[in-house]
Amino acid sequence: MVGTVTAQPTAEPTAARLAAVALLAGRKLGGALLVIWGVVTFTFLVVRVVAPDPIGLLVPPGAGTEVRDAVRTELGLDGSIVSQYGIYLGHLARGDLGTSFGTNQPVSSDLLDRFPATLELAVPALIIGVVLGTGLGIVAALRRGRLADHAVRVVTVAALAMPPFWLGLMLLSLFFVSLGILPGPIGRLPAGVDPPPTVTGSYVLDALLAGDTQTAGLAAAQLVLPVAVLACGIFAPITRVARSGMVEALRSDYVRTATAYGFPHRRVLTAHALRNALLPVITMIANGVAFAFTGAVLVEGVFGWPGIGQYALVAVQQSDFPALQGFVLYAAVVYVVLYALVDLAYAAADPRTRS
């Protein structure tokens, strides 16, 4: 009697898949570290070659050579660029970003102290920009060639053409100087108003948690103009990409086939057209997040917003090498993490992109 041989499951395919995933993750991690190292190295060299000598900004004009040399030695700028670079990398490997020339505080502490202000500004701008940009892009595609489409395209082109700092100045001139209905560029709260007890880092939320609605209202009013400027810079490119992606999806064969089979129009739009149209929008959302958290330097400067962007602007003005290098490292990490998440989002939305 011949017995039946039952195939036993083998662990080799699973192990091979795990090895492939680990190899891919290792390559992405290695590429990310290489990008960050390149950005850090380039920034280190540029600020020392192009930026003004910080000693001239920190030492009084009448100070003698001995004083200038002593300050240069104290700041670690007395050695060659190669030796300074080696010391900087050594400190960076230990998580030490250096000490700011301007605040005399560790750069990491300065960035952490200012991050809640940037976060409070960025989150509402991102929510408004993403929702408005995606919605307007879809509406324009569905009304292609009609009045709504033309109106959205005009608004989008106008928003793209206006530099954020110029738009901020114009809004301040209109709503603060001329009309007087919104506060001026004085930071997160009006002068003389104490911040609420820190819980989340957001003045609006912390004031509401403390039951102080007056302070919450004042903090929210300070957010209106800078959030509007940031949201304008975020929604416009998202609108263009969402519209073009939706128009292309509506013309595709799979949408025509689904419509010919008699599927409900809403199902065709949501399950077929919208899913594929939003793939390129993912990248634009990542760009918007990066802009909100790292690229709003001039916006924070215009509105006197004490966030990381203003910290970087002051660092440029004062030739504060450690602060500037810390900001660039922070921005590089933000971009690397965001685009790694974009890769994952693409893979989740479209299995064809998985490697």
Pick the more confident residue, 96 or 344.
96
Tell me: the pLDDT tens digits for 36-56? 899 989 988 888 887 777 777
Pick the more confident residue, 197 or 57.
197
pLDDT value for 10: 47
Instruction: Supply φ then ψ for residue 183, to 5 degrees.
Output: -70, 165
Within the chain, residue ranges assigned H as helices are 12-49, 55-58, 65-74, 81-93, 107-142, 147-161, 164-171, 203-209, 213-250, 253-260, 265-267, 275-277, 279-290, 297-302, 308-317, 321-349
Whole-prediction pTM: 0.82
Taking 60 as the threshold, does the pLDDT of residue 230 lie above it?
Answer: yes
Pick the more confident residue, 31 or 86.
86
Q: CA nearest 316: which of 330, 307, 328?
A: 328
pLDDT value for 11: 47
Average pLDDT over residues 327-340: 88
Average pLDDT, the chain: 84
pLDDT value for 234: 92
d(CA 21, CA 26): 8
Share of the chain above pLDDT 90, in %: 38
Tell me: the pLDDT tens digits for 246-296? 888 777 777 777 777 676 767 767 666 777 777 788 888 888 998 888 878
Taking 70 as the threshold, does the pLDDT of residue 24 lie above it?
Answer: no
What does the block give as tokens for 344?
A: 């994952």
Q: Angle at Cα 45 formed by Cα 40 and Cα 51, nearest 5°? A: 115
Taking 80 as the threshold, does the pLDDT of residue 58 lie above it?
Answer: no
Taking 50 as the threshold, does the pLDDT of residue 63 lie above it?
Answer: yes
The conformation of residue 75, written as its DSSP 8-state character, comes to: T
Q: Angle at Cα 45 formed by Cα 43 and Cα 50, nearest 5°? A: 95
Residue for token digits 């500004």?
121
Tell me: the pLDDT tens digits for 101-135? 888 899 999 999 999 999 999 999 999 999 999 99
pLDDT value for 351: 55
pLDDT value for 17: 62
Pick the more confident residue, 81 or 295.
81
Average pLDDT over residues 169-176: 94
Q: CA nearest 238: which of 295, 200, 284?
A: 284
Handedness of CA 310, 312, 313, 315 (dihedral sign): positive
